A and B are shown apart, each in its own frame.
Chain A
């Protein structure tokens, strides 16, 4: 999703591929593109390997997904010759591969998250707000924190069995995210305080003032501090750790409102001109030094979020990815789950309902966001053209009505004129009357 928004933000998105076939590795941006590409390739390999492992161990059908696709996967990926021994061997080797790929993936993930920070950090000489060497660390820490927080939220919603094991897992993850939150808060505080400690860096001081008490103060105090740190800090604290739902909500808060942290790390640097007075030297709406995302930018983000949710849902629905509670399946039904309640103990229908609920919610959200994002622009255009068109129609109708009224009034005048012996002809209609008289 993030990559998609970046590509759409390019001036020439069709040339994004140039970063792959004519890269300049001096540029951290090119490095990050390459790291991401390798990482995605690695994820794809891991996914295929996991499908292969699942098909070897006969687990595919318990993982949901469309039966047809599952059959295709096992046909394509399952080893052909299959004595149980060789199967076991290949399963074992796949597990070992996972270990290596995972380690490599971890390195890649650290590299590209740090790299994203380095994209900004390496130009700190022109934007001192992007605090150079600290930035890659801040970005890795932030990625760990926000990623883990969102992961908890997703687990709480998607995990099929809400048993003791699940509680323990969520509590454990909650503890990790809690400490990551504290670590991040310290990093951000350091990032804010150190550059302005003596108050002699005019640009740093100006930007800090702007962030804390400027026009968009609420992004820092409400979104970042309150909703991004204090609220999840309380919800993830040891007090609520045995309640997975609360931990999940805390994770969702921390994950979602982390955007405010990134916003305050990136945008303010661009609000101060590098040569004081440059903002008045040449004034243009496109060269202003304040930033607020435009409607179009919100649309693009919403579209990408919708696309992401849609893809997630498609994966969940058609690919064997998430373990399902197989005993709750309707016999003969597809693996996507059925929303109709079936008999069982008290917990089961609830789970199924929840799954149905999740499906409907994700579909609705995706549909809504897609519709809104695609249509917001189209809607405004449609409304404006509808207004223009209706204006035209109205004008035509009015013109026609006016003509009709004129005809009617002429007729009335004529009748009156005839009745009164043409004593008081209407001045306007005089000519017509005269001609009418001539005819008659």
Chain B
């Protein structure tokens, strides 16, 4: 089925008994993808690629520009594009609109969050300043979470996104411990309306993650995606339908940019080459694909900034 391809195509390649074989198999899959035209086709079960006319004079508007970038990237085979994000922390106002939008888009249950905004307070009163650090999944090029999965349920797709096959994940939570950015959370099978007389309909809604419409959450069922590890996947289902990730479109300060890092003309590539960018915990060598402009890493001794 076409819908399953998103999850399976890259996943199957890595099912192998040794790392070497796994690596070889992955390369094979990547090569197969290269010839597979359907990899560049959008998935049509969602509303489909939106046809938005760019109003004249708005060609350089970041959103329209990023959508054009997206269209260009989607025309290429999957393994020739590399999704990346640039977050301008100088423009982030800490409104958490991205967090909320992400929760809604991916139907994240209690305890699951893909993109929190970390508030850092620096200095002592009255010389204080606040910084805001949105933290999506870094989609590392050398991801520790993928290496530790005992059953190969999580894998790096040819387009750079780290995906989880919910149907295989055994729920051991090793990847959650391994991620140095703590970008993974666990679905404990909880509902927002637990303890109330009725479990509301929105607790059982199907999540469209990974372009598959099978992730419903029946009450009193342990069916996946319950009891699986969850993580940000740059709204893969939206990307494949030609839409930008939800956090990008909802950002009120235009602090989040998204696009193809392999395309030198994309907005993100321009930002990375022209602005001074840095990455979180660069010293670990995980090679994140999320770049920050004006990054101030939070420090250890910080107290609760939002309390009171």
Partner of A274, one of B182, B185, B190: B182
Interface residues of A in 235-292 (CB under 8 A from B): 270, 273-278, 280-282, 284-287
Which A residues lie within 8 Å of B187 (CB)?
11
Interface residues of B in 97-137 (CB under 8 A from A): 99, 110-111, 113, 116-120, 133, 135
Are B298 and A10 interface neighbours, CB within 8 A? no
Which A residues lie within 8 Å of B179 (CB)?
126, 274
B170 on the A face (CB < 8 A): yes
A155 on the B face (CB < 8 A): no
B305 on the A face (CB < 8 A): yes
Are B17 and A123 interface neighbours, CB within 8 A? no
Which A residues lie within 8 Å of B181 (CB)?
274-275
Partner of A285, one of B111, B150, B299: B111
Tier of interface size on chain A: 35 or more
Interface 9-residue window, one of B27-35, B77-85, B220-228, B243-251: B220-228
Which A residues lie within 8 Å of B297 (CB)?
275
Are A287 and B172 interface neighbours, CB within 8 A? no
A125 on the B face (CB < 8 A): yes
Partner of B18, one of A11, A25, A125: A25
Closest-by-CB residue of A relative to B187 is A11
Are A287 and B111 interface neighbours, CB within 8 A? yes
Main SS of the interface on chain B?
Answer: loop
A93 on the B face (CB < 8 A): no
Closest-by-CB residue of A relative to B135 is A275
Which A residues lie within 8 Å of B298 (CB)?
275-277
B255 on the A face (CB < 8 A): no
Say how far A196's CB is from chain B's closest CB, in angstroms.
13
B284 on the A face (CB < 8 A): yes
Are A202 and B301 interface neighbours, CB within 8 A? yes
Are A276 and B299 interface neighbours, CB within 8 A? yes
Partner of A202, one of B18, B133, B180, B300: B300
A30 on the B face (CB < 8 A): yes
Say how far B221's CB is from chain A's closest CB, in angstroms.
12
Q: Complex: how many Å from CA A126 to CA B133?
A: 19
B63 on the A face (CB < 8 A): no
Interface residues of A in 168-189 (CB under 8 A from B): none
Interface 9-residue window, one of A12-20, A225-233, A332-340: A12-20
Supply 20 further A-B pairs (C-beta < 8 A) apart from A29-B148, A278-B116: A10-B170, A12-B224, A12-B227, A18-B151, A22-B151, A24-B14, A26-B22, A26-B147, A27-B149, A206-B300, A270-B177, A275-B182, A275-B280, A276-B118, A276-B299, A277-B302, A278-B118, A281-B117, A284-B110, A286-B185
| Interchain residue pairs A-B with the least CB separation, the first 9 | A11-B171, A286-B111, A11-B227, A202-B300, A281-B116, A30-B150, A126-B180, A282-B116, A29-B150
Measuring CB to CB, which residues of chain B are less than 8 angstroms from any residue of chain A?
14-15, 17-19, 22, 99, 110-111, 113, 116-120, 133, 135, 144, 147-152, 168-174, 177-182, 185-188, 190, 222, 224, 226-229, 280, 284, 297-302, 304-307
Measuring CB to CB, which residues of chain A are less than 8 angstroms from any residue of chain B?
10-13, 15-16, 18-19, 22-30, 33, 119-120, 122-123, 125-127, 202-203, 206, 270, 273-278, 280-282, 284-287
